Structure 1
Amino acid sequence: MLKVLRNWVHRYFSDEQAVVLAVILLLGFTAILTLGGMLAPVLAGLVLAFLMQGLVNLAERLRLSHTLAVWLVFTLFIGLLAVCLLVLLPLMWRQLSNLVNELPRMLGEWQTLLLVLPERYPLLLDEQQVLNAIEAARGELGKLGQWALTISLSSLPMLINIMIYLVLVPILVFFFLKDGSLIARWMSGYLPQERALMTRVWQEMHLQIANYIRGKVIEIFICAVVTYIAFAYLGLNYAALLALLVGLSVVVPYIGAVVVTVPVALIGLFQWGMSDQFIYLMVIYGIIQALDGNVLVPLLFSEAVSLHPVAIICAVLLFGGLWGFWGVFFAIPLATLCKAVLDAWPRRELLGG
Structure 2
Amino acid sequence: MTISKPVWGLLALITFVAVVHLLAPILMPFLLAAVLAYMGDPLADRLEARGMARTMAVVTVFVVLSLFATLLVLVTVPLLIEQVQLLIERIYDGLEWVQQTGLPALRQYLDLPEQKKPMEAARDALSEHWESAGGVLFYLWGKVSGSSMALLTWVANVTLVPVVTFYLLRDWDVLMAAIRNLLPRSIEVRTVTIAQQCDEILGAFARGQLLVMLALAVIYTVGLWIVGLELALVLGLLAGLASIVPYLGVIIGISAAGLAAFFQFDGLLPLLGVAAVFGVGQVLESTVLTPMLVGEKIGLHPVVVIFAILAGGQLFGFVGILLALPVAAVIKVMINHVHDYYKDSELYQSNADAIEQDVAE
Q: TM-score category by the smaller chain?
A: 0.7 to 0.9
Question: The residue matched to 2:306 in structure 1 has which SS?
Answer: helix
Q: Distance in 1 between matches of 2:212 and 2:142?
A: 33
Matched, 1:262 2:255: yes
Q: State the shift of 1:103 in Å.
A: 1.9
1:46: which partner in 2?
34
Q: Which amino acid in 1 is paired with 2:44? A: V
Query: Compared with structure 1, are the counterparts of its residues 259 and 218 closer, same or farther at alpha carbon in structure 2 (3 Å cutoff)?
Result: same
Q: Distance in 1 between matches of 2:16 and 2:72?
A: 32
Matched, 1:67 2:50: no
1:94: which partner in 2?
82
Query: Compared with structure 1, are the counterparts of its residues 161 and 304 closer, same or farther at alpha carbon in structure 2 (3 Å cutoff)?
Result: farther
Matched, 1:76 2:68: no
Matched, 1:206 2:199: yes
CA offset digits 1:163-218 (Å, max 9, x no partner): 32332111111111111122223334443232243223212111000101111111
- Identity in percent: 25
Q: Distance in 2 between matches of 1:314 and 1:261?
A: 23
Query: Compared with structure 1, are the counterparts of its residues 262 and 233 closer, same or farther at alpha carbon in structure 2 (3 Å cutoff)?
Result: same
Matched, 1:243 2:199: no
Taking the TM superposition and a 5 Å limit, the aligned residue runs for 1:169-180 are: 169-180=161-172
- Kindly indicate whether structure 1 or structure 2 has the higher relative contact order, using CA contacts under 8 Å at least 6 residues apart: 1
Question: The residue matched to 1:253 in structure 2 has which SS?
Answer: coil
CA offset digits 1:236-260 (Å, max 9, x no partner): 1222211211111111123343233
Query: Compared with structure 1, are the counterparts of its residues 227 and 53 closer, same or farther at alpha carbon in structure 2 (3 Å cutoff)?
Result: same
Query: Does the aligned pair in 1 maintain the 2:29–2:158 contact within 8 Å?
Result: no
Question: For structure 1, which segment, 161-170 or 34-43, has the greater mean C-alpha deviation from structure 2 after superposition?
Answer: 161-170
Q: Distance in 1 between matches of 2:191 and 2:332?
A: 14
CA RMSD of aligned residues (A): 3.5
Query: Which residue, 214, 222, 233 being the options, matches 1:221?
Result: 214
TM-score, normalised to structure 1, is 0.77
Q: Which amino acid in 1 is paired with 2:45? A: N
Question: The residue matched to 1:278 in structure 2 has which SS?
Answer: helix
Query: Which residue, 167, 175, 181 being the options, matches 1:183?
Result: 175
Q: Which amino acid in 2 is paired with 1:92? A: L
Q: State the shift of 1:25 in Å.
A: 5.1
Query: Which residue, 237, 243, 246 being the options, matches 1:253?
Result: 246
Give the number of the structure whose alpha-carbon radius of gyration is greater: 2
Q: State the shift of 1:29 in Å.
A: 4.5
Q: Distance in 1 between matches of 2:153 and 2:97?
A: 39
Q: Distance in 2 between matches of 1:155 and 1:224?
A: 34
Query: Does the aligned pair in 2 maintain the 1:21–1:198 contact within 8 Å?
Result: no
Q: Which amino acid in 2 is paired with 1:160? A: L
Q: Which amino acid in 1 is paired with 2:187? A: R
Query: Compared with structure 1, are the counterparts of its residues 325 and 96 closer, same or farther at alpha carbon in structure 2 (3 Å cutoff)?
Result: farther
Question: For structure 1, which segment, 163-172 or 206-215, has the greater mean C-alpha deviation from structure 2 after superposition?
Answer: 163-172
Taking the TM superposition and a 5 Å limit, the aligned residue runs for 1:133-148 are: none
Q: State the shift of 1:349 in Å.
A: 4.0
Q: Which amino acid in 2 is paired with 1:87? A: V
What 5-or-longer segments of structure 1 have no aligned partner? 1-13, 139-145
CA offset digits 1:95-136 (Å, max 9, x no partner): 22432344232112134443476489x6xxx467xx9xx99x
Query: Does the aligned pair in 1 maintain the 2:213–2:240 contact within 8 Å?
Result: yes
Query: Compared with structure 1, are the counterparts of its residues 336 and 91 closer, same or farther at alpha carbon in structure 2 (3 Å cutoff)?
Result: same
What 5-or-longer segments of structure 2 have no aligned partner? 123-136, 352-361
1:316: which partner in 2?
309
Q: Which amino acid in 2 is paired with 1:335? A: A
TM-score, normalised to structure 2, is 0.75
Taking the TM superposition and a 5 Å limit, the aligned residue runs for 1:85-164 are: 85-115=73-103, 118=106, 126=110, 156-157=148-149, 159-164=151-156
Runs of 4+ in 1 over 6 A off after TM superposition: 148-152
Question: The residue matched to 1:237 in structure 2 has which SS?
Answer: coil
Q: Distance in 2 between matches of 1:339 and 1:15?
A: 26
Q: Which amino acid in 1 is paired with 2:194? A: V
Question: The residue matched to 1:50 in structure 2 has which SS?
Answer: helix
Q: Distance in 2 between matches of 1:152 and 1:235?
A: 39
Query: Compared with structure 1, are the counterparts of its residues 230 and 100 closer, same or farther at alpha carbon in structure 2 (3 Å cutoff)?
Result: same
Question: For structure 1, which segment, 76-85 or 207-216, has the greater mean C-alpha deviation from structure 2 after superposition?
Answer: 76-85
CA offset digits 1:295-344 (Å, max 9, x no partner): 21111221533233433332222123224455345433322211221222
Q: State the shift of 1:150 in Å.
A: 9.8
Q: Which amino acid in 1 is paired with 2:226? A: Y
Query: Compared with structure 1, are the counterparts of its residues 160 and 115 closer, same or farther at alpha carbon in structure 2 (3 Å cutoff)?
Result: same
